Each structure stands twice: as structure tokens, then as C-alpha cells.
Amino acid sequence: MSKGNSLMKMLGLAAALAIIASLGYVRSSRCNNDAKGVAYAGSDQGRNEESDKGKAEMTTLQGELVDLVCYLDQGAKGASHKACAAKCAGMNLPVGLLTNDGDLYLVLAADHKPTGDLCKGKMANIVSITGKVADKGGLKAIFASEIKTIKEVK
């Protein structure tokens, strides 16, 4: 594959993940605590949230904090990719948690804000993330309320 095709693939993936991340922002900015439905971009219709309340419990997962753009495109992770991962997370590109079992979770902030500040100084480290886990349509995510470094990678 040519370098140009690889770059286009990476940019396309980054754009798709940015859109996914922005849907959470649209939901949080258009819904209030009294809302009965989920707001989707361009629509006020959604499923009934009442049936979902209380189902997700707080969970703690452990693994490596990865930059999803480079990890999905090139398999980049670990100490050799730490500086790039930190830069990408600082630009609020999507972040993932790669568990020891090989499961990959999209890391989202519990308050539906960008994850850059939450992940600052923790990229490529082994971390524990506490939050609510979601698994929809094959995509696993954790709404992180806390990220703690377990082992710092140099």
C-alpha cells in the first residue's frame, strides 16, 4: 500500500472516530436530566432512556492507554509510540484501552467532554480506568470517571 493511501486511510479513520466522539457531545448538549429520550444528531427522536437507567454498573478495567488512530492503522503502541500517542491525545483524537486479554475499548469521558485532559501524561502507560462500560453494535467503550497510572512506560 502506498504511503498516500495509508495516510488517507488514517485520516478517514480519524474523521469517523471524531464523528462518533462528537455524538456524545451532541447528546449531552441537547439533553437535560429530565429528558426521556436520547437525542441524536439532527433528530430529537430516540429510544426510551428510562429502561437503560441503572443497568450499567461502575467497572474497573486495566490495560495500556493507546492512541486509536495509530493503533488501528499501524498497530502502534508501547514505549516507542508514547510521544506520538501523547500528541494525538492532546489533540483530542480518540483514545483506547487495550486490555491484557486483547480487548479494545473506546475511552470516553463520563462527563461527555473530550478525553485529552483525562488522559494527559498517561498515554502508553498501563492504567486502571473506572467507569461504566457499554457494548453496542460490536463497539466496546468505557465512560471513564477516573484513570490511574499503574505502571509508567518510559
> For residue range 67-79, what is the model confidence (pLDDT) as tens digits?
999 999 999 999 9
d(CA 154, CA 128): 18
d(CA 25, CA 73): 25
What domain range is 84 assigned to? 3-151
**Of 45-49, 112-116, 131-135, where does the model show the most confidence?**
131-135
* pTM of model > 0.95: no
Q: What is the pLDDT of residue 92?
A: 94
d(CA 59, CA 86): 25
Could you give the number of structural domains in the chain?
1
